[in-house]
């Protein structure tokens, strides 16, 4: 280990934190980065040997996360959903479908691109037993086990059949009021609620579940089928309700994560569904989009 020391003649020397100089200093950073997801899991005890350090262990947060629809807004139906699982978003105890969407897709896409490129899928984080997570050793790629923890939660956020907005997806679920800083998830005293569905959240599920359906097809066929049913149902619901936006001011107890432009999500979801199913209706949506063949700069 090295230090940088600045000698000030009239003061005590200032020292840097110790650091290493080597050719592999970033290898552990890659492992730590992908373990972020395990450490932010909701509904499961975070424990050794998976958490790496004993002081990072904690009891399960919200192990029975049953949330009721929030009273007093425009949403007409009252019910509760068990949305246990998923990842906490940031420093709060909320769980958000639009945030989970891009994060889950990133892991799934990392696996899918590596497979397409012919990379060695036995190595970390793709191979089984390479990420030191509770599912390691189950015969499935570790990165897909981690992604499934989130995708399972996203599927649970879909409005059940029999309700007016069936197939849509609740935008988020979180505490009624903000908790104080420094409170672990298992210490959370607040009542938790589902917030109304949004078109953006619905299309996030449609896209990620469609991608999941093809990736898990030969790994977990039952889960693959579940994903595809949910994805197509979500897309149809979004087409029926194309402009339900999360309000910008819904930021008590959790972030708003509002988005009033969802043409990009429609294009994304239709693309993932077309790749998975080959159905003409999704290709038609793709070709009619303003984003068709658009290459971002």
Angle among Cα 108, 47, 178 to the nearest 5 degrees reads: 75
Identify the pLDDT of residue 9. 67
pLDDT above 90 as % of the chain: 89
Identify the pLDDT of residue 44. 98
pTM for this model (two decimals): 0.92
Unique residue bearing structure tokens 């649970």: 156
**More confident site: 72 or 131:** 131
Alpha-carbon gap, residue 187 to 281, rounded angstroms: 48
Query: Which residues, 6 or more positions from 134, have their beta carbon under 8 angstroms from its beta carbon?
Result: 44, 50
**More confident site: 20 or 159:** 159
Residues pairing with 68 in the sheet:
80, 193
- CB-based contact 105:211 (threshold 8 Å): yes
Query: pLDDT tens across 15-30, in order?
Result: 999 999 998 888 888 8
In the chain, what is the straight-line distance between the N-terminal and C-terminal CA atoms, in Å?
42
pLDDT at 12 over 80: no
Query: pLDDT tens across 195-209, in order?
Result: 999 999 999 999 999
pLDDT at 11 over 80: no
Residues pairing with 197 in the sheet:
170
């Amino acid at each position: 280990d090295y230090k940088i020391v600045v000698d000030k003649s009239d003061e005590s020397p200032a020292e840097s934190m110790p650091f290493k100089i080597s050719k592999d200093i970033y290898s552990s950073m890659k492992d730590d980065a992908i373990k972020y997801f395990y450490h932010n899991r909701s509904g499961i005890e975070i424990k050794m040997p998976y958490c790496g350090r004993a002081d990072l262990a904690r009891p399960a947060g919200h192990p029975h996360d049953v949330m009721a629809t929030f009273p007093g807004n425009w949403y007409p139906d009252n019910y509760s959903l068990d949305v246990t699982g998923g990842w906490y978003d940031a420093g709060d105890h909320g769980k958000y479908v639009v945030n989970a969407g891009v994060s889950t897709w990133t892991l799934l896409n990392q696996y899918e691109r590596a497979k397409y490129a012919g990379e060695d899928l036995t190595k970390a984080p793709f191979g089984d037993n390479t990420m030191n997570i509770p599912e390691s050793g189950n015969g499935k790629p570790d990165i897909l086990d981690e992604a499934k923890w989130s995708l399972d939660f996203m599927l649970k956020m879909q409005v059940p059949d029999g309700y007016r907005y069936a197939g849509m997806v609740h935008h988020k679920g979180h505490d009624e009021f903000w908790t104080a800083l420094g409170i672990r998830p298992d210490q959370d005293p607040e009542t938790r609620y589902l917030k109304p569905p949004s078109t953006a959240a619905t299309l996030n599920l449609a896209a990620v579940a469609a991608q999941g359906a093809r990736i898990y097809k030969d790994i977990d066929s039952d889960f693959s089928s579940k994903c595809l049913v949910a994805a197509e149902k979500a897309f149809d619901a979004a087409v029926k309700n194309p402009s339900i936006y999360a309000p910008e001011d819904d930021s008590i107890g959790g972030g708003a994560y509002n988005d009033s432009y969802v043409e990009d999500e429609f294009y994304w979801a239709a693309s993932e569904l077309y790749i998975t199913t080959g159905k003409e209706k999704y290709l038609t949506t793709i070709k009619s989009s303003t984003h068709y063949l658009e290459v971002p700069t």
